[in-house]
Amino acid sequence: MSLLQSKTALGAAILCNLLAMALAPSAFASSHREAPFITQNPKVDATDFYMFRSYEAGRGAYTTLVADYVPLQDAYGGPNYFTMDPQALYEIHIDNNGDGKEDLTFQFRFTNTIKDAQFTVGGKKVSIPLAINGGAIDTVNPAGLNVRETYSVTVVRGDRRSGTRSAVTNATGGGTSFDKPVDNIGNKSIPNYAAYAAQHVYAVNIPGCATPARMFVGQRKDPFVVNLGETFDLINIKAPATEFAANAESATKDDLAKKNVTAIEMEVPTSCLTAGADPVIGGWTTASLRQGRLLNPAPGTTTTASKEGGAWVQVSRLGMPLVNELVIGLKDKDRFNASKPSGDAQFADYVTNPTAPALVEVLFGSAGAKAPTNFPRNDLVATFLTGIKGVNQPTTVTASEMLRLNTSIAATAVGAQNRLGVIGGDNAGFPNGRRPGDDVVDVVLRVAMGKLCTLNIGCAPADAPAGGLHFTDGAYLDEKVFTPGFPYLATPIAGSPQM
């Protein structure tokens, strides 16, 4: 084995140990079950957030926002499947002036309506126990669907609680209520799920935007890839010895390969997201629950199982991937989920003096895996808190964690995207925003071990002895597994594949 191969294999082994030691046992991916409290509330658990210049042909003037929720969905998980929480508030926030506060927020609220389909059995009408009533589901709100899930969207300009509020409306015929497709129950109930879901892509009018946007909310194949099962099994992994080759897909070990998520997606005219001459925007997603909950000891046909009330309390937050997993300490994970970017000074030590590289050095320092020596870690401050100067740093910036996108950088066309984004020479990719095909696990691990130092960003090459190692978890990801246009994420796995 050559020295390069040895170093790459070492990098993969280091990654596995890093994940095993640095991740809480409940963490499953980019932000799946990442904090103690959120494990109790999967319907409001944000799993991934994406923000990128649309690369679908003819859509270069748009920016796509994707917030994924409800982790680890087994396709066969009936009979109730994975509806969103009607008692929750789901939000996507945009900061377009660099102050760490939202200037534009899209708020999503959901409603579930049980149609109470009944069969006549022995002369009596009896309510059926399932979400479907029989017959193919092939159109919006078909008669055979027993549970109808709808949602409304409000755009808030200014503070998300006290700003100016307006309803997002259907560009075809008006209206403020939108149908969400039922999950992919199986091929007998929904013979052509891709065509059925496509009917739920809406052209919408956002007040204050001259051009209609597009919107979709529904189940998708989980876009994240990660190898965790073998990591937790005492690092029982066969890691790639060299950088991925053309047949890299055959080496992939993805523990989310059979899982779905629920995606909230908007494709918005970029001009509606930016402000003034600064093309850089920041974005993140949150979910909130009511402060109080009273359980009903005897729910009935006209009463619910619980009653929620009081102020909204934020319980989930996600901007940059892997922050709450690999950066924030266990004792502060719930605190981070409840916080705002403008208050991130309280978490600064986790970025300027990170523990993950130190753990790697403890484990493998004698073999050359030395942690970067520059403190504070200004390279990580640039990556997570301010944006990288000349790439995605706004004109005026307040240090705060969020995903930042320079909308003046043109999208890289389908087939030409580099899975490593900026460190792979593709400035249209992560951490300049995030596309579905960006392999953020590999990128974040390489950056944590000093990759940016080798590029003289925030530090010098001499500060990062291991900055050139090809760290990887062995789970390959690139753009080829996604569709070339909105809603980009792949069709969800069917609960029953039989025809």
Q: DSSP per residue over 339-351, as a string?
A: --GGGGGGGHHHH
Residues linked to residue 318 through DSSP beta bridges, in sequence order: 285
What is the pLDDT at residue 364? Answer: 64
Token pair in block for residue 3: 């020295």
CA 223, 229, 234, 240 dihedral sign is: negative
**Distance of alpha carbon 406 from alpha carbon 390, whole angstroms:** 10
130 CB contacts (<8 Å, ≥6 apart)?
Answer: 78, 79, 146
The length of the chain in residues reads 499
C-beta separation of 200 from 194 below 8 A: no
CA of 429: how far to CAs of 416, 434, 435, 436, in Å?
A: 11, 6, 6, 10
Q: Two tokens at 197? A: 């879901």
Residue of 113, 70, 64, 112 lying closest to 90 (CA atoms): 70
Tell me how far CA of residue 30 lies from CA of 26, 216, 223, 303, 430, in angstroms.
12, 22, 10, 37, 14
Q: What burial letters (b/e) apply to 386-406, b meaning 16+ CB within 10 Å?
A: bbbeebbbbeebbbbbbbbbb
**Encoding tokens for residue 479?**
């753009």
Dist CA 193 CA 448 (whole Å) = 40
Rounded average pLDDT over 136-148: 89
- Of 35-49, 196-210, 223-237, 304-318, the poorest mean pLDDT is in 223-237
- Looking at the predicted structure, is the pLDDT value of residue 249 above 60? no
Mean residue pLDDT of the chain comes to: 85
Is the confidence at residue 251, as pLDDT, over 80?
no
pLDDT tens, 184-223?
999 888 999 999 999 999 999 999 999 999 999 999 999 9
Greater pLDDT, 153 or 481? 153
443-478: pLDDT as tens digits: 988 999 999 999 999 999 999 998 988 877 778 889
Q: Which of 21-30, 117-126, 379-388 has maximum average pLDDT?
A: 379-388
Classified as helix, coil or strand, 112 is: strand
Give the CA distances from residue 274 to residues 188, 332, 353, 399, 448, in Å, rounded to whole numbers and listed in that order.
Answer: 45, 32, 33, 19, 30
| Confidence tier at 278 by pLDDT (50, 70, 90) | very high
Residue 436 · residue 223 · CB < 8 Å: yes
Residues in contact with 233: Cβ distance below 8 Å, sequence separation at least 6, in sequence order: none
Choose among 23, 93, 4, 111: nearest CA to 473.
23
> What is the pairing mode between strands 124-127 and 169-170?
unpaired
d(CA 469, CA 451) in angstroms, rounded, equals: 8
Name the residue ranges covered by the structural domains of the chain. Answer: 35-114+146-222+261-319, 224-258+344-478
Residue 286, φ and ψ in degrees, nearest 5: -140, 160
pLDDT confidence of residue 130: 78
Nearest Cα residue to 227 out of 10, 7, 23 = 23
First and final C-alpha spacing in the chain:
49
CA–CA gap between residue 196 and residue 180 (Å, rounded): 11
Q: Which alpha helices (H) appear in 277-332, and where do they start and end?
A: 323-326
Does residue 17 carry a pLDDT above 70? no
Tell me the per-residue pLDDT of 392-411, one tens digit each, with 9 for 90 and over.
999 999 999 999 999 999 99
Lowest-pLDDT range of 64-78, 217-231, 326-340: 217-231
Residues with Cβ < 8 Å from 246, sequence gap 6 or more? Answer: none
CB contact at 8 A, 107 and 89: yes
**Segment among 5-14, 33-42, 376-385, 392-401 with least mean pLDDT:** 5-14
Lowest mean pLDDT among 35-39, 82-86, 205-209, 488-492: 35-39
Residue 353 phi/psi, 5-degree rounding, is -135, 70
Alpha-helix runs per DSSP H in 176-255: 193-198, 229-232
Both tokens of 390, joined, read: 């000349």
Residue 309 pLDDT > 80, yes or no?
A: yes
DSSP 387-456: --TTTT--SS------EEEETTSPPPPTT---TTGGGGT-TTSTTBSB-TT--HHHHHHHHHTTGGGGGT
